[in-house]
Structure 1
């Protein structure tokens, strides 16, 4: 039996390269959730892996959690002060909350790790489950699954750090031969374009591969598509619905970390200025991807469009929830209160066992 207000924990922070983005997403959720419906518990996963329950007037929640222009590296970590937070464990929080809203980004947050941990403790959570999270975060396996499901995705090759060390010259030759028109190089398990490079025709991929391998033990090399970039949000487990399509016009070479989180980094047009039939096709592909992976909560699927049509780049199972993020802005364009969607996915998380997930 639920209490008068739903007790909801917002889990944010973590140890990934997207920590700043996660904190900004979490703090925004803490701010906008309706206090007449929810009793909110802001929980930071520290870089020391400990859980800190912040008081509602804590500095973290009032700092507006600025996101830097570059991926933070090598910064020292200072745990929150005792007067502003309480050191807790997941087992302790299980008795104090009804549901967790996952705002963790990157490895440890979107890859099924935290989801599996919460499953073992029987703590309900908002978002996709273990399998969907693991498959979509692993870019190589995600593309294999997309292809097997009949969904379009660009051609690719992948290799590990050990394969690179054993035969880098052969791999460089293979990349140049396979992708004469240029390629995109990504770490296999990062988000927010962390460690990603976009190369032109015949451009030496060595430095980009080494950069990507600095973030992951496996990398994805994908055919570069010269076309327009779109993204589409989907929400819900049972009968999921698509939000309006957004076109992204980056002011940089591509929609990188800075372009995503700094003002003026990209022009984001919602709804996209495209034919209704194309918008419907992109929305249909996004809903299908959401369904075939068995996703829940809110997802965002990224696309590129060329003369052959839209093709799926990846599916994000915990998209950004910052003030600048695409999902909240798409809700505005659709005439839907973002809080209404949050209410729906929180309710679905609480009663997940009674829902019938949509098939792709």
Structure 2
């Protein structure tokens, strides 16, 4: 039996159209885009600029506001570390959220040791932030608000329009990690005053190892020094030879990315069947505004690791790919006040445009049967049925 891939928030299958756009720059047009003295170099340079334009067009921004890097983690480090370095005179206070990606949280934790003050906004049980609390947390020395567009584990979508407006009112930079929202919802940056936006190509059926950093051109330019120094590539923001095939693939992936209505239909069908056919399940953030493709479900009284091992044909995860293998429960679920037992029992399902209805039906049948089988052998499930534990 073939695999059923339901881990698309971790990474996605490359789109054939994206791969086709990349191949010429892996085989024939392999020139260095900085070598504009000859034709092959100019061809590579033109391909880079086409990709930049494709992305700028999608976001409704200027080509000169788009910068390429290795992915969202590098973009996050570039922004947070760079803003701290450049805005010392204004202050050393950053606001973020307890459910951010570890790339943000670990970078902030590192900077805390160097004297930067970080405010970590809590979320409610649905995974939502309090906009009033955000507003009240901004101080005169606040230099940056870093809050993602959509959570990679729960799928909960944050109100980025309102967040951007609050930051604009207080003259504070807003950095948005849009890695999970790009390609699933439209983001028109003409209408949303986000200052800095970050995403990776491999979440939208593009190649791994390439990402985008958007920096708004303001009357007073945003000051961010290079994280990687070298040549003058990317207007001096990131040194190093540009990875032409990956950038071309990134541009193509963004150009063709769009929301597909069947994804939500399949996700909702999956959840409905699980709720009806499997007892003692909890869908995290179900009442919140969520990504159409994401469902984070606790199968109570079973360890997620045990359940996934018993489902060899289903490709699933217990949360963020960057945190897999850790002994601690999901920091996202902990912030949502989910108890440890339910957190350790949770599995994330994330669909894509390549997910088929037949795969969802097969996954449901395997889940129903496997959950039943594993629980029948579980002493914890026996204790629950006897009413000795809740």
TM-score range, shorter chain: under 0.3
Structure with a larger share of its residues in strand: 1
In terms of fraction of residues, the more helix-rich structure is: 2
TM-score calculated relative to the size of structure 1:
0.26
Higher gyration radius (CA) = 2
Higher relative contact order (CA 8 A, sep 6+): 2
TM-score by length of 2: 0.25
